[in-house]
Amino acid sequence: MKNIFFLLSIFIVGSCTKDKFSSQDTSCYPEEVGKILTNKCATAGCHNSQSAGNANGLDYSSWDNMFKGGKNGSSVIPYSTDLSYMLYFCNVDTALGIALEPTMPYGKDPLSREEYMTLKNWIASGAPNCNGYVNFSDNPNRKKFYVCLQPCNKVAVFDAETRVIMRYISVGNGNGGPHQIRITPDGKYWCAVFYEGNILQVFRTSDDTEVGSISLNNGITAYWNTVSFSSDSKMAFVSNLASPGFVSVVDLTAMAESLLVGGMDNPHGTFVSNNDSTLYVTSQIGNVLYKVHLKDDQNPWSVDQVSLGTPSSLDPHEIILSPDGSRYYISCQKSNEVRVFNSSTDQLITTIPVGVKPQEFSISKDRQWLFVTCTEDSISSGCSPTQKGSVYIIDYTTNTVVNHLYPGFQPHGVAVDDDHDVVYVANLNYDGGPAPHHISGCGGRNGYITVIDMSTQQLLKVDLSDGSQFTYKNEVLQFPYFIAYRK
């Protein structure tokens, strides 16, 4: 691995002899931190505004520029010393933390132990600026998106405006890993479901602090998958992938499980109808959709089955309703298609062929597009390595595919952000994808986030102050599984 990083450094670092660097300090770092970063990192030809394009896109000439991130995303994450990769490359003592090559400052004496600890302690205290302000701590209504990272029991919180990681939040109680996070319709809370867990965990979106954990199935560990909500944000419905399986009904006002609804095999995807009358649940193994009647006074919580048609096994993974509620869409991961049904009659409207193993949905109301990730779709281009994965874009007014593209290796989670006209994609990068730029304190193989620009239907480009440009990419911890956007 060290040899790989050494070869990469030739391209990343480039020459350190061309640019003029101002001695006037406008960096707004704390004094001791500024002495290190401006004098030893943001030097001519390296991590300054004139040379960032050849230095992995990282500009350390000021506190503000540092938090813009680089070609591999956020190098400094407040309060997370073990996950801020800036520290990895300026450390030479593995007893103090992760140490990777090439050692920075490149071609010069490494930082002393005292200098390294100055940076580490600064990040541990939130990496504040010269006025003591910790970034992203000022706006409880900030638009953001969340990425759950299964093996690490972490959730990455991204600022939607800058698309950098604001915080890493520890989640769970030691059982399983976060399988899905979703935001309540009122936007006040986000909830985490844990595969091989026994709780539904609730956090405030304003400051990402935990509200509480709700015991599921009497605290017995089970395979929890997805969560959906009533429109008033008072009830949550959590699916358990088992045979026989069930859905846990949770009262979020009382913070307690109220009942279990059984009669389902391998329940996975969930979605609540616009009028809160029906909970739709996919059966991931087979070709059945379950409909739980939420407002049937004569037979409350009764469950009906809907056959999704032939072939005999479609393995429906996820479900989403059209914005007007007239149709529902199901990703069939075994038959590699999206099936469209009439919500009133449950009749099949059409079948839309897509890529291999369609998984997650997200929908744009502004663009009238439905996005679906196809995690194992293989795309070969001449002599280049095989790319695995695609995102299909479906016009839900005509039920036709308008485009598909490769967003990154093994895309899974997807979330539309109509406010910024983009789509966030979580790429697992788990099975043979591109080598990550760095490892992390969590270990394993990093995944990464990419962004689709809906105005071009292509991956988003980022402009640097030196005039160069790169495709947005932000590495995260291993197995980024699901994304949720908070408006």
Q: How high is the mean pLDDT in each 10-residue block of the chain (487 residues)?
A: 36 36 68 95 87 89 95 96 96 95 91 97 98 97 97 97 97 91 98 96 98 95 95 98 93 97 95 97 94 91 93 92 98 97 97 98 98 90 72 98 97 98 97 89 93 98 89 96 97
pLDDT score, position 236: 98
Residues 112 and 30: their CA atoms lie apart, in Å, by: 18
Residue 423 neighbours by CB under 8 Å, 6+ apart: 362, 364, 371, 391, 414, 415, 416, 417, 451, 452, 454
Question: Which pLDDT belongs to residue 43?
Answer: 87
Region of 112 (left: φ > 0; alpha: ψ -120 to 50; beta: rest) is: beta
Encode 252-274: b = buried (16+ Cβ within 10 Å), e = exposed: beeeebeebbebbbbbbbbbbbe
pLDDT value of position 382: 55
pLDDT of res. 231: 97
Structural domain boundaries in the chain: 2-124
Please report, to the nearest 10 degrees, the dihedral formed by the alpha carbons of residues 13, 16, 18, 22 taken in order: 110
Q: What is the distance in angstroms between the CA of the first residue and the CA of the last residue of the chain? A: 40
Rounded to whole angstroms, what are the CA distances from 336 to 98, 239, 351, 353, 391?
A: 42, 23, 10, 6, 13
- Distance separating alpha carbons of residues 432 and 90, to the nearest angstrom: 28
Q: How does strand 422-427 pair with strand 411-417?
A: antiparallel
Amino acid 243: pLDDT:
87
Which sign does the torsion angle of CA 153, 319, 184, 422 carry?
A: positive
Q: Which burial class, exposed, middle or buried, applies to 3 when counting CB atoms under 10 A from its CB (0-12, 13-18, 19+)? A: exposed
Kindly state the DSSP code that residue 18 receives in the 8-state scheme: S
What is the per-residue pLDDT for 5?
36
Q: What is the pLDDT of residue 411?
A: 98
